[in-house]
C-alpha cells in the first residue's frame, strides 16, 4: 500500500534525554501499511532538534519534522491542530517526545480493529508509568476501560500515547469546538469526550507504551497553583461538554467533585488553610467524611515518617 494510512503526531520540547526512545518506538512498528511521523519541535533549546535531524536524515520517508524558531505553545496555540493539516493518514496516533511505545504491533492491531469495526472511531490501550526521578516502572491504575461518554466524563481514563482515532474526528473536533477559544490546559481530554459523543470507543487491554513521569510538567507539578489551575480547567471541560451534548446534569454534584479534588490536592501539598477553604465548599456529607479520612491518613503517615526519622538519627 503506497498511501499513508496512519499519521503519528509527536510534540516535543527540550526532550534530548528522551526523544531517541520515542522515535525508536515509532520505527519498531511492524505494519502492512505505510505510516508517517510528524514531529513538531517547539523551539527546543537543548539537543532535541539535532537528534531528530539525524533520524530524519536516515528515515526520510517516515520522519518529517518541523522546527520552530520560537516557542508557539507559550502563545496559546494548540500544537495538535497546528500539525494536523500536514497529516496524510486516515488515522491519527499521538505520542509526546518524552513518552514511547514498546509494542511493535501497536499500530497494526489498532488499525485492524478500526478497519473491521466502522462504528468505532477511537481505540486505546493500557500504558505503564516510568518515574524519571527514581528510574522505576510502576503500573498505571488511572487509565482503564471506558465504553461511553458518561463513563469518560466521570474521569479521563485514556492515556494519550496509546490512542489511535479517525482523522475525520480530529478535524471535526477543531472545526466544531474551537478549543483555542476555551483556553483549556488539556489538549487531549476534550478531544476524547468529543470522539465519544460522535462514535464508539474501544479499550484494548494490552500495554503498548510507557508514560514518563517527570518532576515537572503541566499535569505533574510541584507548584500547587499550577496544579489547581489544571484541576479547575478539567472541570471546565466537563461542564462545557455536558452543556454541549444537551443532557441534564447536576451542577451541584460537579461543583462538589471539583472542590473535593481541590481539597485533596491541598492536603497532598500540606496546605491546611487552603484545604479547609475547599472543604467548606463541599455540600455533601459523605464526601466530607472521605476528605476527613484522607487527611487523617495523610497526617498519620507524616507523623510515622517523622518518628521513623527521629529513631534513625
The mean pLDDT of 232-247, rounded to a whole number, is: 94
**pLDDT for 270:** 87
The model's pLDDT over 262-284, given as tens digits with 9 standing for 90+, comes to 999 999 888 989 999 999 999 99
Question: Distance between CA 226 and CA 234 in Å, rounded?
Answer: 12
- Give the mean pLDDT of the chain: 91
Give yes or no for residue 221 having a pLDDT over 80.
no
The mean pLDDT of 227-238, rounded to a whole number, is: 94
Q: How confident is the model at residue 195 (pLDDT cuts 50, 70, 90)?
A: very high
**What pTM, to 2 d.p., does this model score?**
0.89
Adjacent-strand bridge partners of 40: 11, 66
The mean pLDDT of 54-65, rounded to a whole number, is: 95
**pLDDT for 305:** 72
How does strand 136-139 pair with strand 164-166?
A: unpaired
**pLDDT for 220:** 60
Question: Could you give the residue ranges of the DSSP H alpha helices within the chain?
Answer: 19-27, 48-58, 79-83, 106-116, 149-154, 167-177, 179-182, 189-198, 224-245, 251-268, 272-281, 285-312
Give yes or no for residue 140 having a pLDDT over 80.
no
Tell me how crowded residue 102 is: count the other CB atoms within 10 A of its CB: 14
Amino acid at each position: 500500500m503506497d498511501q499513508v494510512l496512519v499519521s503519528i503526531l509527536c510534540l516535543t520540547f527540550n526532550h534530548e534525554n528522551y526523544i531517541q526512545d520515542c522515535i525508536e518506538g515509532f520505527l519498531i512498528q511492524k505494519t502492512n501499511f505505510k505510516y508517517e511521523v510528524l514531529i513538531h519541535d517547539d523551539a527546543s533549546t537543548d539537543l532535541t532538534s539535532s537528534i531528530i535531524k539525524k533520524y530524519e536524515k536516515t528515515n526520510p520517508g517516515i520522519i518529517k519534522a518541523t522546527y520552530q524558531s520560537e516557542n508557539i505553545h507559550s502563545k496559546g496555540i494548540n500544537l495538535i491542530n497546528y500539525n494536523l493539516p500536514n497529516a496524510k493518514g486516515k488515522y491519527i496516533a499521538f505520542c509526546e517526545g518524552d513518552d514511547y511505545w514498546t509494542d511493535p504491533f501497536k499500530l497494526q492491531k489498532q488499525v485492524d480493529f478500526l478497519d473491521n469495526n466502522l462504528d468505532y472511531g477511537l481505540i486505546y490501550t493500557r500504558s505503564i508509568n516510568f518515574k524519571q526521578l527514581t528510574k522505576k516502572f510502576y503500573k498505571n491504575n488511572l487509565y482503564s476501560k471506558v465504553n461511553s461518554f458518561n463513563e469518560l466524563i466521570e474521569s479521563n481514563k485514556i492515556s494519550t500515547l496509546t490512542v489511535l482515532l479517525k482523522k475525520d474526528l480530529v478535524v471535526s473536533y477543531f472545526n466544531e469546538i474551537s478549543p483555542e477559544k476555551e483556553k483549556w490546559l488539556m489538549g487531549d481530554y476534550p478531544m476524547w469526550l468529543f470522539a465519544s459523543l460522535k462514535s464508539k470507543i474501544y479499550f484494548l487491554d494490552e500495554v503498548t507504551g510507557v508514560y514518563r513521569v517527570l518532576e515537572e510538567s503541566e499535569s505533574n507539578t510541584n507548584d500547587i497553583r499550577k496544579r489547581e489551575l489544571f484541576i479547575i480547567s478539567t472541570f471546565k471541560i466537563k461542564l462545557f461538554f455536558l452543556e454541549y451534548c444537551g443532557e441534564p446534569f447536576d451542577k451541584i454534584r460537579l461543583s462538589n467533585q471539583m472542590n473535593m479534588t481541590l481539597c485533596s490536592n491541598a492536603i497532598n501539598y500540606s496546605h491546611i488553610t487552603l484545604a479547609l477553604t475547599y472543604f467548606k465548599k463541599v455540600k455533601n456529607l459523605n464526601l466530607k467524611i472521605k476528605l476527613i479520612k484522607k487527611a487523617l491518613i495523610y497526617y498519620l503517615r507524616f507523623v510515622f515518617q517523622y518518628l521513623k526519622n527521629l529513631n534513625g538519627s
